[in-house]
Structure 1
């Protein structure tokens, strides 16, 4: 159990721009709603634009002077789709203050490939967000922006081999853990490189603890299969008092990491309760594999090669 961090008054984010991936449901929707209620202009980056518009309608009216909520279509599993979104946003030239890399897929029962030929969870959870962040870096630098990557408790026991990201034998939950560990390693390495090269941004990560969203169903039932025993068991456990957060409380974790004055670059945040399953924001335990600098460097090099997106190595 970690020590809960003092919560701060709701921030005034009027005049600021936030982009949240996977914002049509679950934690992403909760984070986007918090941004909207704080007055920020919010981009809901979603695969299904109609569901994104439905989510936006549920947010209610922004505070006086608050920005609009808009929907942008993107499939994080497709690098072409990510490039299209980033081209549109870069053409607008609006400084981006907050980027929340939240969209994800959980444990499809059979190995599936992205349009670019990568394992679907790695493509969606990590590679798509790596490319998105790199392509939006000019807008983030204009704003001195903050990037938050939403990781998972599954990263604790995961293994990561940067030289073999395409993977071998497919195990649904092991592959999910690998993708989330990659996301966490990326978040920490992005902050380190940002400080090293003077990009003027910060990056951290957060995980929501134990929370039940449609992610537990849409991934394990991909292709029409019934959810397996792991998904059913975790769904029941996370609904027990003290062993899981509801979506509203879980969405506070990434929002805190993005907006709180005490939230630091290079840090990892999670629930402060038992086993980091529930509770208010606290410092999360960083797995040893996520602290390994050689793993981080290898993942960065491999991700640049696989996505074709290169980050600058200087202030220029």
Structure 2
């Protein structure tokens, strides 16, 4: 449920008996998503690369909610083999009510995933595409299951370089980040269309966390650069979790896009958000879908809408 003023942590309903996968749940926004879901009685699988960090996050949540039902799901979104293994583990769960694709990388120097993909496109989009595709059959077992895909305000003016998807010719980290977030927006748009056409019980929803201080600090030192006054305008991690919590547990529209509704959409209570017109371009979305299958070798098995 939500209220007329927007959705916050207080609006998350009881989740006892439900199970969620939250990627990147060891820190920042992902940790806050897992914390709130656990407090509402949900079973939460923390999709993280490193066991030590995952176990530390679990311990921190259990200090707040001692009876929290939490397990580590080994997952490296930069490795398709790890993604396949994680999907196999998750498929053994009795149910999965929502896959919350939260993890990502932002503005690193040029690096490659295990399979050789440029890391921002590889982790932020291809990893999300692959994990979602592999978990769709499991999600479909639970009526009302949802896939939450995290985009960003960075998608609004971003473009995808179709002639150099893998950054083999050039790499401008901020442009590649924006492209990966546009890919996220196009992906959930196309996923929603195909799920509806297939009459699947699974719903796809897109979100963005606003301009979260935790993510922006990564690789950028932004707060030190812009100063403490501008830093006050950034969304905290707990508030950055509200759009994902709305998408996973609240009243939403299939294919809807949600984010903070205050200060130009970068902070505040969660509600419907603005997306770029080209993020709803069916031709671009179909092209990305087909390219993603070709690059990962993983096909969601959903015909074109």
8 Å contact kept, 1:82–1:132: yes
Pair 1:148-2:137 in alignment: no
CA 1:157–1:237: 2 relative to 1, 3 Å: farther
**Number of the residue aligned with 1:223:** none
CA 1:272–1:218: 2 relative to 1, 3 Å: closer
Pair 1:126-2:131 in alignment: no
How far apart are the structure 1 equivalents of 2:212 and 2:226? 9
8 Å contact kept, 2:198–2:302: yes
**Number of the residue aligned with 2:198:** 197
- 1:189 Cα deviation from its structure 2 partner: 1.2
The unaligned stretches of length 5 or more in structure 2 are none
CA 1:53–1:82: 2 relative to 1, 3 Å: same
The aligned runs of 1:1-316 (5 Å cut-off) are: 4-5=5-6, 9-60=11-62, 68-90=69-91, 92-108=92-108, 110-144=109-143, 145-162=145-162, 164-167=164-167, 168-213=169-214, 215-220=215-220, 227=221, 232-233=224-225, 236=228, 238-240=230-232, 243-260=233-250, 262-313=251-302
Partner SS for 2:267: coil
User: What TM-score do you get using the length of structure 2 for normalisation?
Assistant: 0.91
Partner SS for 1:60: helix
Indicate the larger mover: 155-164 or 18-27.
155-164
How far apart are the structure 2 equivalents of 1:120 and 1:284? 27
- 1:60 Cα deviation from its structure 2 partner: 3.0
Q: Number of aligned residue pairs: give it.
A: 297
8 Å contact kept, 1:149–1:204: yes
Partner SS for 1:263: coil
8 Å contact kept, 1:21–1:101: yes
**Deviation string, structure 1 residues 94-123 (Cα, Å, up to 9, x no partner):** 321011001011101x31111111101111
How far apart are the structure 1 equivalents of 2:227 and 2:298? 37
Partner SS for 2:17: coil
CA 1:101–1:6: 2 relative to 1, 3 Å: closer
8 Å contact kept, 2:261–2:270: yes
8 Å contact kept, 1:27–1:251: yes
Partner SS for 1:272: strand
- 1:291 Cα deviation from its structure 2 partner: 0.9
How far apart are the structure 1 equivalents of 2:291 and 2:125? 12
How far apart are the structure 2 equivalents of 1:279 and 1:6? 9
User: What TM-score do you get using the length of structure 1 for normalisation?
Assistant: 0.88
Q: CA RMSD in A?
A: 2.1
8 Å contact kept, 2:223–2:230: no
